Structures are given as structure tokens and as C-alpha cells.
Amino acid sequence: MPKIKFGVIGLKGIGKTHVSEIATIENTELIAVADIDERVGKTLAEKYNVAYYKNYEDMLAMKDLDAVSICTPHFLHFPMAMKSFEYGKHVLIEKPMAITVKEADLMIEEAKKRGLKLGVVYQWRINPVFQKIKEMIDNGVIGAVYRACMETCSFRTQVYYARDAWRGKWLTEGGGVLINQAIHHIDLFWWLIGRPVKVFGHIGKLYHDIEVEDIASATIIFEHGAHGVIQASTVDPITTVRFEICGEKGKILSEEGSGQIMYALFERTLKEYLMDKNIWPKIMYQWNHLEIENRVAGHREIIRDFAEAIIRDREPLISGEEGRVSLEIVNAIILSSFEEKAITLPINREVYEELIKKKLSGKVQ
């Protein structure tokens, strides 16, 4: 079986997961790691018997290196990906793929120009719960979706932000809860419901001593007319990750961690109930429960698929174009909040770049 020779850039946090998975997947081979922290880098290199580089560009110069996983802080994703393409390497990148959608555009263009693969890690798409929900929607089980709600409310202490200097800053994180925690579920949201066309959002900083948002709310209009609502935070001690998806034939409910999908199917369609001769027709429906294996991590499948995409010369499961959508939603919510108006997608790239520059100069509060 052909093996894709990988290097991993950034070895703290999720980088360790990439290293351990690449080292054991049947179509990948770990040959090098790179990190500015020599202690971490040399320890992992010794454990897996691979080369260590303090400077990631030295690793990119390896002739037998096929692809890299980029697992560094957000602000390094764009320059490291562009440099990797320059060396002719395929790139699998952790979320978010960049800080701004303009950077994502340039990454996609560069990969296409050089005939290289660009994949983005959104491992929750592999989770059997969301795979099943996607199947149900695509197969018309609940009919055409007209309304959906998503909550992704979690908790982070001030120490969490103080621990790593890049967190909580516009320049290096690119936002707060939206671009870091919620972007996983924003990716699921549009993947399940459809592509967004208009966004109205509001962000706030309630409790943390950071530059960026720790709470956000948004409404989204999707391409087929469905309405969506998003609420996200890092100030909720009781975590809630919840999806409610309403269709003309029924409704799906899912809460993260339950390993269960609840769905109700109407005896008649929504349109039939709306045309009923009675002013208050009796709505008949039945709740059903599906117990699903709640497998959280999907990095292994994402990495295996990316390697297969290189071998077979096809698009990876989550391409650069797919990975860009959730980032654009995040950018649109932030832009909408500061401009206090709805944003039509695609957003104006230059306007968002200017907003970020103003945030960094302290001209926008």
C-alpha cells in the first residue's frame, strides 16, 4: 500500500494527536516533526524515531516529505501553509484554516496553482451522531428544513487565556469563542443545513480580560430560505452543545454527549396542517430515539482520507473551499457586530481586513 510521508508542525496540544495517528495509520508514515520548543520536539522525535527540526522550513526542505499537518496557533496557519506550498508539500491544517477569509482565499488559490491538496480538520463531521443527522436530512426524513438553532456554550477560565500568549488577541487568535471553540459547530451547522447567504450578528466581552469576544449571537439566512440561530460562549459553567433542526415533516434534536438523536415525525406535512380547515388543528406526531455510538475523535479518519486524496488525486473530505465557509461565517458575524447591519455573503474581504487593522490599532472599540 502506498504511504504518504508526513511531517507535523506544532507539537503541543492537538499536534500530539496528529503525530500519534500519522504514526499508526496504514497509508501514512511519520518521518519528521517541527517545533520551536526543543524539549517537546526532541522528546517526540525520539519516541517515534523520526527527524526533529526547530525551524519548520528546514523540515519542508526534505525531498521525501509529501505532506505536512499544521497544528500551530491560528496566526501561523496562513504563512506556514503558503510556505509549505512553496516547497511543494500538501497541507492538512487544523481549524481555523486562517484568521481571515482573504487569507483562506489565497491558500486555496496557491494550492490549486501548484496542484497540491489542501485539507481542513473538522473532525466532528466524522462523529456518527452528526453523520446520521446528515443522512436523515439528505434523505428527506424530516422534509425541507425551514428553521434551525445551534447552541455551543462552554466554559474557559481566565487562566486558559493567560496560559498561552496568543490566545484572546485579535492579531494572533483572530477572535474568541467564534473562531476557536464554536467554529467546529458552525461548520456542522452549515454542512447540515446549507450554505449561508446573509448573516446578522452581535459579539460581546462579558467576563474575560481579553481583546476578543467571549459571547456571540447570530441569525443566518441560508440559500434555500431557511432561518438559523447561533449562540456561543465561553462563560457557561454548564456546557451546552445543542442542535434543533425543523423540517416540513418533522424535527431533529441532538445534544452533544448524549449519544442519542431524538426526532419527531408529523402524521401530515407542515403545509397540510397549515391548510387545515380547523383554526386549531390537532398536531399528531411521534417522538423516536436513536442510540448512536458517540465517538468523539475523528482525526484518524480525517488524516487517512487526506492521505487517500493525495494517492488517488481527488479532493479531501473537507477541502479548503469547504473549510473556508465556517471561517467566512465567523468573519461575517464579527463584521456585522461592528457595522451593526446584516452582512451579505460572500463578505467584502477588504472591508474585513480593514476592520482587523483598526482593531489592532485600537481605533474600533
Residue 173: its pLDDT value, please?
97
Residue 296: its pLDDT value, please?
57
Query: 89 and 172 share a domain?
Result: no
Query: 10 and 82 share a domain?
Result: yes
Residue 49: its pLDDT value, please?
98
Digit-coded pLDDT (tens) for 222-237: 999 999 999 999 999 9
Rounded Cα–Cα distance for residues 106 and 108 (Å): 5
Q: Say yes or no to pLDDT of 257 above 70.
A: no
Query: 181 and 230 share a domain?
Result: yes
Domains in the chain, number: 2
Q: What is the mean pLDDT of the chain?
A: 95
Q: Say yes or no to pLDDT of 154 above 90.
A: yes
Q: Is 109 a member of any domain? A: yes
Please report the DSSP string for 24-44 in residue order. Answer: TSTTEEEEEEE-S-HHHHHHH
Query: 81 and 205 share a domain?
Result: no
Assign 302 a pLDDT band (cuts: 50, 70, 90).
very high
Q: Is 322 a member of any domain? A: no
Residue 71: its pLDDT value, please?
98
Decide: 336 and 201 in contact? Cβ < 8 Å. yes
Q: Is 132 a member of any domain? A: yes
Q: Is 32 a member of any domain? A: yes
Query: 65 and 160 share a domain?
Result: no
Q: Is 160 a member of any domain? A: yes
Q: Is 29 a member of any domain? A: yes
Average pLDDT (281-298) is 83
Assign 31 a pLDDT band (cuts: 50, 70, 90).
very high
Q: What is the CATH number for 22?
A: 3.40.50.720
Decide: 81 and 20 in contact? Cβ < 8 Å. no
Model confidence, pTM:
0.96
Q: Which domain holds residue 89?
A: 4-123+298-317
* Bridge-based pairing state of the strands 260-266 and 235-247: unpaired
Alpha helices in the chain (DSSP H): 14-22, 38-48, 56-60, 77-86, 101-114, 128-138, 158-163, 177, 183-193, 270-274, 299-312, 320-339, 349-361
Q: Is 221 a member of any domain? A: yes
Q: Is 134 a member of any domain? A: yes
Query: 115 and 131 share a domain?
Result: no
Residue 292: its pLDDT value, please?
84
Query: 104 and 181 share a domain?
Result: no
Residue 357 has a CB neighbour count (10 Å cut-off) of 12
Query: 288 and 170 share a domain?
Result: yes
Query: 150 and 235 share a domain?
Result: yes
Query: 36 and 95 share a domain?
Result: yes
Query: 98 and 187 share a domain?
Result: no
Q: What is the CATH number for 346?
A: 3.30.360.10
Residue 136: its pLDDT value, please?
98
Query: 259 and 310 share a domain?
Result: no
